[in-house]
C-alpha cells in the first residue's frame, strides 16, 4: 500500500474521479465530505470500479474541532487534496458570506491541522476563474490575476494567497494549486459522473439533460461575441484526465520533486471550444438533435478563455488524452445510465 491521502470533497464530481485514480495506484484514501453537494452512492461507484472502498467520514470541514480530531486520529496522512468547496458562481453573488465561510474557513481549519500534525503536502483545487477575461490568450500561469468577478472566484484567489502566506511559516510546507479549466464528462464505466443538484448551471450537464428530455431546451447564452461563430469559448477537459493530474501532483510532492514551495499549474487541453461546437459534438456522439435557442449573454460571463498548458506538460509530464468528442460521449453515456437507474431524480 502506498501513502495515505486525505481527499476532502471526495464524494463530489472531480473528487470521486480522483479517488478512483488514487486507489488504482494503490494509495490509501480517506475522504471527508459533508455530502452538501454529493451523494453517498458515489462511494458505491468508486468501489465497483476499483474493488476498494475508501474510508469515509461525514462532517463539515468548517467544524474546527472535528477537523482537528480527525488529523489527531489520522497521524499517518502524507498529503491532502482539498476539493471541498461551494462552487456555484450565481449563488455566490446572492449569498457571498456562505461562500467566504465555507471555502475559506474549511481551508484555514485544514491548514491549521496540517501545521499542528506536521502534514507537509497540499494539492488545492483552484480555477481558471482567477484570470477573468485575460487580455491575451491562451493564459499562462503568469497571466495577471484580475479582480474576481464573483465571490466564488474571489475565494479561489484568496485561498491561493492564504496558502502562499502560510507555507513559509509552518510545517505544512509544500503546495500545488491546480487551476482547472472546464472539467466535463464521466468515468467510462458510467459508474460515477457529474450529479448537479437541481437545474445545472454548467453547459455540458444542461446539454445532456436536454438530450435525455429532463430539460426542454438549452439556452445558448449569446451569439454576438467576438469569436468565429459568435458563441463563447472555453477549454473543456475530460474529468478523468483532470483526476490523473492530481495523482501526478501528489507524486511530485511526495517525491520532493517540486521546484518551489508553492507551485501553480493550469490544467486544460489548450484548445478553445465554442458553445455551438459543443452542441455539434453532442449531436455527433449521441445521434440526437439538440433543442436549443439563442438568448442574451449571461451576466458575468467572459467571452473566451483557454489554457496554455506548456508548464503542466513540461513540468508535470501531464497532458490530456481524451478528445472533446470522447469526453462528451462519456457525459452522455453517464446521463443515460444514471437516468435509467434513477428515473425519479
15 binds, among ligand NAD, ligand WQD, none (CB under 5 to 8 A by kind): ligand NAD
Enumerate binding residues for ligand WQD (CB under 6 A). 87, 89, 127, 129, 182, 201-203, 206, 218-221, 232, 234, 275, 298, 301
State the chain's maximal CA–CA distance in angstroms. Answer: 56
- Residue 23 binding ligand NAD, by CB under 6 A: no
**Which one-letter DSSP state was computed for residue 168?**
T
Contacts of 219 (CB under 8 A, 6+ apart): 292, 293, 294, 295
Report the C-alpha gap between 15 and 7 in whole angstroms. 7
Minimum CB separation of residue 286 from ligand NAD in Å reads 21
Q: Which of 34, 109, 208, 320 is close enough to bind ligand NAD by CB under 6 A?
A: 34
> Which one of residues 19, 37, 193, 330 is an interface residue with ligand NAD (CB under 6 A)?
37
Q: At what angle do helices 13-24 and 41-50 cross, to 10 degrees?
A: 30
DSSP string, 221-281: E-S-SSSTTSS-EE-EEEHHHHHHHHHHHHHHHHTT--SSSEEEEEES-S--EEHHHHHHH
Which single residue brings its beta carbon nearest to ligand NAD? 12
Question: Annotated catalytic, 27?
Answer: no
Q: How far apart are CA 243 and CA 22, in angstroms?
A: 9
- Using the minimum distance from each CB to ligand WQD, give the nearer residue, 54 or 205: 205
Identity of the residue, 197 or 228, whose beta carbon is nearer to ligand NAD in the bound complex: 197
With respect to ligand NAD, which residue has the nearer C-beta, 67 or 137? 67
User: What would the 3-class secondary structure string for 143-164 be?
Assistant: CCCCCCCCHHHHHHHHHHHHHH
56 or 276: whose CB is closer to ligand WQD? 276
Reduced to 3 states (helix: H, G, I; strand: E, B; else coil), residue 319 is: coil
Q: For ligand NAD, which residue of 5, 6, 7, 11 counts as binding (CB under 6 A)?
A: 11
Catalytic residue among 152, 225, 236, 338: 152
What is the closest distance, in whole angstroms, from the C-beta atom of residue 88 to ligand WQD in the complex?
9
Nearer to ligand WQD, 30 or 237 (CB): 237
Complex with ligand WQD: residue 54 or 268, whichever CB lies closer: 268
Say which DSSP state 9 is in.
T
DSSP at 199:
S
Q: Which does 14 bind (CB under 5 to 8 A by kind): ligand NAD, ligand WQD, none?
A: ligand NAD
Per-residue contact flags (x/-) with ligand NAD for residues 158 to 197, judged by CB under 6 A: ----------------------x-xx--------------
Least distance from ligand NAD to the Cβ atom of residue 134, Å: 16
Size of the site for ligand NAD (CB under 6 A): 28
Q: Taking Cα atoms as reference points, which of 203, 239, 209 lies closest to residue 339?
A: 209
Strands 273-274 and 233-234: antiparallel
CA distance 93 to 97: 9
Cβ of residue 10: shortest distance to ligand WQD, in angstroms? Answer: 17
Residues 6+ apart with CB under 8 A from 342: none
In the list ligand NAD, ligand WQD, none, the entry touching 234 (Cβ below 5 to 8 angstroms by class) is ligand WQD
Residue located via cell numbers 445545472: 200
127, 153 contact by CB (below 8 A): yes
CB of 195 to ligand NAD, least distance (A): 8
- Among the listed ranges 4-12, 221-229, 277-285, 297-305, the one in contact with ligand NAD (CB under 6 A) is 4-12
List active site positions.
Answer: 152
Interacting residue ranges for ligand NAD, rule: CB under 6 A: 9, 11-15, 32-38, 60-62, 83-87, 102, 106, 125, 127, 180, 182-183
Amino acid at each position: 500500500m502506498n501513502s495515505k491521502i486525505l481527499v476532502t470533497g471526495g464524494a463530489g464530481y472531480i473528487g470521486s474521479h480522483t479517488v478512483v485514480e488514487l486507489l488504482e495506484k494503490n494509495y490509501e484514501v480517506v475522504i471527508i465530505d459533508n455530502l452538501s453537494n454529493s451523494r453517498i452512492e458515489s462511494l458505491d461507484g468508486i468501489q465497483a470500479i476499483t474493488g476498494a472502498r475508501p474510508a469515509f467520514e461525514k462532517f463539515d470541514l468548517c467544524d474546527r474541532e472535528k477537523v482537528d480530531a480527525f488529523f489527531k486520529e489520522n497521524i499517518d496522512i502524507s498529503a491532502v487534496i482539498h476539493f471541498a468547496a461551494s462552487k456555484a458562481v450565481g449563488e455566490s453573488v446572492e449569498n457571498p458570506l456562505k461562500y467566504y465561510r465555507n471555502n475559506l474557513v474549511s481551508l484555514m481549519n485544514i491548514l491549521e491541522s496540517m501545521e499542528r500534525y506536521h502534514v507537509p503536502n497540499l494539492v488545492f483545487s483552484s480555477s481558471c476563474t482567477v484570470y477573468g477575461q485575460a487580455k491575451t490568450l491562451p493564459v499562462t500561469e503568469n497571466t495577471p490575476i484580475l479582480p474576481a468577478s464573483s465571490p466564488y472566484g474571489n475565494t479561489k484567489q484568496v485561498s491561493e494567497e492564504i496558502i502562499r502566506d502560510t507555507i513559509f511559516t509552518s510545517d505544512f510546507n509544500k503546495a500545488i494549486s491546480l487551476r482547472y479549466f472546464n472539467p466535463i464528462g464521466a468515468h467510462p464505466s458510467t459508474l460515477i459522473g457529474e450529479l448537479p443538484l437541481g437545474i445545472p448551471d454548467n453547459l455540458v450537464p444542461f446539454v445532456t439533460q436536454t438530450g435525455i428530455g429532463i430539460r426542454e431546451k438549452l439556452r445558448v447564452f449569446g451569439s454576438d461575441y467576438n469569436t468565429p461563430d459568435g458563441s463563447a469559448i472555453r477549454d473543456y477537459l475530460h474529468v478523468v484526465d483532470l483526476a490523473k493530474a492530481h495523482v501526478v501532483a501528489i507524486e511530485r510532492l511526495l517525491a520532493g520533486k517540486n521546484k518551489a514551495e508553492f507551485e501553480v499549474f493550469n490544467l486544460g487541453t489548450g484548445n478553445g471550444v465554442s458553445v455551438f461546437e459543443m452542441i455539434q459534438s453532442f449531436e455527433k456522439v449521441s445521434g440526437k438533435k439538440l433543442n436549443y435557442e439563442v438568448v442574451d449573454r449571461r451576466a458575468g460571463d467572459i467571452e473566451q478563455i483557454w489554457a496554455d498548458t506548456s508548464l503542466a506538460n513540461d513540468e508535470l509530464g501531464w497532458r490530456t488524452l481524451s478528445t472533446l468528442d470522447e469526453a462528451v460521449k462519456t457525459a452522455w453515456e453517464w446521463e443515460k445510465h444514471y437516468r435509467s437507474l434513477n428515473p425519479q431524480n
